[in-house]
Chains A and B, each alone.
Chain A
Amino acid sequence: MTTTNGNANGSHGGTATWTLKAGLAQMLKGGVIMDVMTAEQAVVAQEAGACAVMALERIPSQIRAAGGVARMSHVSKIKEIQAAVSIPVMAKARIGHFVEAQILEALGVDYVDESEVLTPADDVHHIDKHNFKVPFVCGCRNLGEALRRISEGAAMIRTKGEAGTGDIVEAVRHMRAVWADIRRIEGMRDDELYVVAKDMQVPLTLVQEVKKLGKLPVVNFSAGGVASPADAALMMQLGAEGVFVGSGIFESGKEFPEGSRERLDEQRSMASAIVKAVTHFDDPQILAEVSMDIPDSMRGISVAQMAPAELLAGRGN
């Protein structure tokens, strides 16, 4: 495993090494990580086959609707979720809010998402993620942003998309942008990589590694806008190694009353179908079968009709 992001790790073990941080993300590949607000939702997610859950105060569509400041989830909620499931529990911290991250590490969460979905705490700096034992996942819109986060210590990347919209267009844009830059670098001469590193404001060694690997040096999932099994499979076919689903699950089934058994059943059905779609992302026959019995997807918001100030993906660069 690589050490080029600056994570010095000896080959003779210990804990919190780069291999272990990036390695957990390897185990999540081909899976679906689901946003959950409560222990009850976490159980629904695990029951549906989620490979991990992401604890947050409100799912992105509710953050949009409610306005105000979105922060780390309440500590008691995170502990309830940890107690309720045996799969990895991730939690979101605000961009630059290293104390929220310290608290999440103290709680023993398995991954911290330094996330643009929450209100940024620092409009200049991201968290120095090398300082933590807990691994971090961060969002990106293009390769440069991904490599800047990796140089800060992120052990996993997700393309940002536009959270809480149910509109896949931004997720597609960001995934295509990452891969277009990777393919461009693969075709370059070695002596052309210096200027790429300069333009992207990233360490040269990371650009060299991208050229060598033909992919990001860490696992890359898709996030922000997945609202159906077809959306999830689309992102996999575009090169995602797994999918985050936020509002797409717990905004479905809304024809039934909140807290009702029927609504949870609908949400479980959507969640399970997305899990199956990610496994068989390139088999249209199976995708058709798993899409048979799902509830209607969230109504959503078209990103093209949103004011620029409403977009979350521009937070952090």
Chain B
Amino acid sequence: MTSSSPSDTAPRALLGVLALQGDFAEHIAALEACGARAVEVRTLAQLHAVEGLIIPGGESTTIARLLIAFDLMEPLRQRIREGLPVWGTCAGAIMLASEVTNLDRPPIAAMDITVERNAFGRQIDSFEADLEIRGLDEPFHAVFIRAPVIIRAGAGVEVLSRLPDGRIVAAREGRLLATAFHPELTADRRMHALFVRMVQESAPVPAERR
């Protein structure tokens, strides 16, 4: 639909957004604005069909319970071990972390980071800020809502962005991306474009599958 889409002859990867709870619709719209194909993921069949996955903002305690209740937790872990690119925003970043403070269910535990939930306090402490992000030329206007922070990043984790006080709010480890903020809530599509490129680079789509 836009000039940023790959040529019509190249098969485009199918991206998914975990749609158990949260602002998955905004992520779908943002991916489509980047020229990607995107679907909601609620079932095992949908999880197996996608070549990249976004875990959206939402309530991490709710998303964790629903992943377990609908038997998606282990299959998702398996797909990540097999190389599925995944991007978690806010609650999604919490779910990706190997360790989380104050979450009463085990997270997916795919990324070597420790995340603190509600690190800034309650809703009245939510804020917006312009961030320098590694890989982006210009600052990115970021929306933090009851946001977490990454309080530890393992040796293999690349820190992409910090707040002025040094706290980590974006990081990448291989095919996994975590942001404490919500790029889906603003019109700036650069983070979504970055993730679409990560998926395309990691999983070229064989022509016979399309």
Q: Is the CB of B65 within 8 A of A49?
A: yes
A108–B120 Cα gap in the complex (Å)? 13
Q: Is B91 an interface residue (CB 8 A)?
A: yes
> Closest Cβ of chain A: how far from B31's Cβ, in Å?
16
Q: Is A51 an interface residue (CB 8 A)?
A: yes
Tally of A interface residues using CB under 8 Å: 42
Residues of A within 8 A of B145 (CB): 20, 23-24, 27
Q: Is the CB of A23 within 8 A of B118?
A: no
A110–B123 Cα gap in the complex (Å)? 5
Q: Which of A15, A26, A50, A88 has the most CB of B within 10 A?
A: A26
Q: Which of A86, A109, A111 has the most CB of B within 10 A?
A: A86
Q: Is the CB of A26 within 8 A of B123?
A: no
Given contacts A30-B24, A51-B62, A276-B66, contact A13 B127 (CB under 8 A): yes
Q: Is the CB of B143 within 8 A of A20?
A: yes
A76–B21 Cα gap in the complex (Å)? 31
Q: Is A176 an interface residue (CB 8 A)?
A: no
A110–B145 Cα gap in the complex (Å)? 11
A275–B65 Cα gap in the complex (Å)? 10
Q: Mark B98-130, 1 if CB is under 8 A from A, else 0.
A: 000011100000000000011001111111111
Given contacts A17-B128, A29-B21, A279-B42, contact A86 B143 (CB under 8 A): no
> Closest Cβ of chain A: how far from B190's Cβ, in Å?
15
Q: Is the CB of A30 within 8 A of B20?
A: yes
Q: Is A185 an interface residue (CB 8 A)?
A: no
Q: Is B58 an interface residue (CB 8 A)?
A: yes
Q: Is the CB of B130 within 8 A of A20?
A: no
Q: Is A46 an interface residue (CB 8 A)?
A: yes
> Closest Cβ of chain A: how far from B156's Cβ, in Å?
29
Is chain B's binding surface mostly helix, strand, loop or mixed? loop
Q: Is the CB of A15 within 8 A of B127?
A: yes
Q: Is the CB of B123 within 8 A of A134?
A: yes
A-B contact count (CB 8 A): 129
Q: Is the CB of A13 within 8 A of B128?
A: yes
Q: Is A135 an interface residue (CB 8 A)?
A: yes
List 14 other contacts, CB 8 Å, given A134-B124, A275-B65, A283-B42: A19-B143, A26-B57, A27-B59, A27-B91, A29-B21, A46-B61, A49-B66, A49-B69, A51-B58, A86-B102, A105-B124, A275-B62, A279-B66, A279-B70
Interface residues of A (CB under 8 A from B): 1, 11-17, 19-20, 23-24, 26-31, 46, 48-52, 86-88, 105, 108-111, 133-135, 272, 275-276, 278-280, 283
Listed A/B pairs (27) with beta-carbon separation below 8 Å: A12-B128, A13-B127, A13-B129, A13-B130, A15-B124, A15-B125, A16-B124, A20-B123, A20-B145, A23-B143, A24-B145, A27-B57, A28-B59, A29-B22, A30-B20, A31-B22, A31-B59, A31-B62, A46-B104, A50-B62, A86-B117, A87-B59, A88-B59, A108-B123, A109-B123, A110-B146, A134-B124
Interface residues of B (CB under 8 A from A): 19-26, 42, 57-59, 61-62, 65-66, 69-70, 90-91, 102-104, 117-118, 121-130, 141, 143, 145-146, 182, 185-186
